[in-house]
């Protein structure tokens, strides 16, 4: 019998829930969903299922609005998951690349997330990436005001 190592989170961040959420976001945005089946690696005794969030990060970098929304939700979440720091940091960098696609509500949510984390003194390693994204969004907003 093979051991299955699923590197996805639990609950809302489980593989199945993320795929369902992506499909729902695509439906809301009237987008055609892309297959986000997680990568797997199998050897004689172990099956490894890699995080589906990694697929969403790649899609967010390409401007997929449904993936962008889910990555934003991931950043807003305090939930822990395997490779969470790395995935959340990469997700933040993906949103930075596509910051021009974020609507004002999403921009405000990101900025408020950073403010809330800092006010609580909760600054995990990925906070650095969040704050860089937040500063960029504030600069963009200030340029639009002028």
**Residue-range definition of the domain harbouring residue 10:** 3-145
CB atoms inside a 10 Å sphere around CB 24: 14
Length, in residues, of the chain? 146
Cα 6 to the center of its chain, rounded Å: 18
pLDDT for the residue 141:
81
Give whole-number Cα distances, 91 to 30, 32, 61, 112, in Å.
23, 21, 9, 17
Residue range 112-144, pLDDT digits in tens = 999 999 999 998 889 999 999 999 999 888 877
pLDDT for the residue 58:
97
Report the predicted TM-score, pTM, of the whole model to 2 decimal places.
0.91
Q: Does 146 have pLDDT greater than 70?
A: no
CB atoms inside a 10 Å sphere around CB 59: 21
Residue range 55-108, pLDDT digits in tens = 999 999 999 999 999 999 999 999 888 899 999 999 999 999 999 999 999 999
Q: Could you give the number of structural domains in the chain?
A: 1
DSSP 30: T
Considering only CA atoms, give the Rg of the chain. 16
Question: What CA–CA distance (Å, rounded) separates 85 from 3?
Answer: 25
Q: Does 145 have pLDDT greater than 80?
A: no
Q: In what order do the strands lie in the sheet with 46-49?
A: 3-6, 46-49, 40-42
* Backbone phi, psi, residue 62, to 5°: -90, 0
For the chain, how far is it from start to end, CA to CA, in angstroms?
A: 64
Q: Does 47 have pLDDT greater than 80?
A: yes
Question: What CA–CA distance (Å, rounded) separates 75 from 13?
Answer: 12
């Amino acid at each position: 019998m093979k051991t299955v190592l699923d590197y996805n989170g639990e609950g809302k961040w489980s593989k199945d829930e993320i795929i369902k959420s992506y499909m729902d976001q695509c439906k809301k945005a009237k987008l055609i969903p892309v297959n986000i089946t997680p990568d797997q690696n199998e050897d004689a005794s172990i099956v490894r299922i890699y995080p589906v969030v990694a697929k969403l990060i790649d899609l967010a970098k390409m401007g997929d609005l449904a993936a962008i929304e889910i990555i934003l939700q991931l950043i807003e979440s305090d939930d822990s998951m395997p490779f969470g720091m790395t995935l959340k940091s990469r997700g933040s960098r993906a949103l930075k690349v596509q910051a021009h696609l974020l609507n004002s509500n999403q921009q405000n949510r990101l900025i408020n997330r950073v403010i809330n984390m800092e006010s609580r003194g909760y600054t995990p390693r990925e906070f650095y990436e969040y704050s860089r994204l937040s500063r960029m969004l504030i600069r963009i907003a200030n340029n639009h005001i002028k």
